[in-house]
Amino acid sequence: MAIEFLPIAILFVLAIALAVFIVFLGSIFGPKRYINTKMMPYESGMTPIGPGTRRMNVRFYLIAVLFILFDIEVIFFLPWAVVFRSLGLFALIEMLVFIGILLVGYVYAWKKGALEWE
């Protein structure tokens, strides 16, 4: 059984070896010029200013959590949509229940003021 996987293993080893080899070549032949801009940490293309551990407004976290929560739950719509035809009415009701529960949470968050910035 193991023999069937041999080509994959060879490919795997070759790929790793090639990658390591190219990086190695680069480090030998590449020019090395250290300037300030190049030594800066990369941060989404922005110029980093101030101390690294700057405080973020706590509201960002709340929004982020809510976003992840609802975003991930929306992902469930995708597989649902794929099998919707074969499941029919049952799937529709199930999804309505799901959305209903989601809505309760949404209304709660809204009413609690989690969505207000001020």
Partner 1 sequence: MTTTDLLSVFPLLILILWACLVLLLDVFLKRERLTTILTAIGLVVTLGFSISQNNLNLTGFNNMVVVDNFAVYLNIIFLGSGLLAISLAHDYLKRMGINRGEFYVLLMFSISGMMLMAIAADLIVFFLALELLSIPLYVLAAFARPRVESEEAGMKYFLLGAFSGGFVVYGIALVFGATATTNLSGIAARIAEHQADIPLLTIGAALILVGFSFKVAVVPFQMWTPDVYHGAPSAVTAFMAIGAKAAGFAALMRIFVAALPTLSEQITPIIWVLAALTMIVGNIVAVAQSNIKRMLAYSSIAHAGYILMALVSYGQSSVASVSVSAALFYLLSYAVTNFGAWAVVIAVEKAEGKGLALDDYAGIGRKYPALAAAMAIFMLSFTGVPPTLGFVGKFYLFRAVIDGGYIGLAVIGVLTSLISAFYYLRVVVIMYMRDGEPEVRSEPWLNLTTAFTAIATIVLSIFSAPILQWASQAILSTF
Which residues contribute to the site for partner 1 (CB under 8 A)?
90, 101, 104, 107-108, 111-112
Shortest distance, CB of residue 33 to partner 1, whole angstroms? Answer: 46
CA distance linking residue 63 with residue 71, whole number of Å: 12
Comparison of 85 and 111: residue with beta carbon closer to partner 1? 111
Nearest Cα to 94, choosing from 108, 106, 77, 70?
77
Comparison of 16 and 103: residue with beta carbon closer to partner 1? 103
Comparison of 29 and 90: residue with beta carbon closer to partner 1? 90
Shortest distance, CB of residue 111 to partner 1, whole angstroms? Answer: 4
CA distance linking residue 66 with residue 107, whole number of Å: 12
Shortest distance, CB of residue 14 to partner 1, whole angstroms? Answer: 31
Sign of CA dihedral 28, 31, 34, 38: negative
Do 84 and 91 touch, CB atoms closer than 8 A?
yes
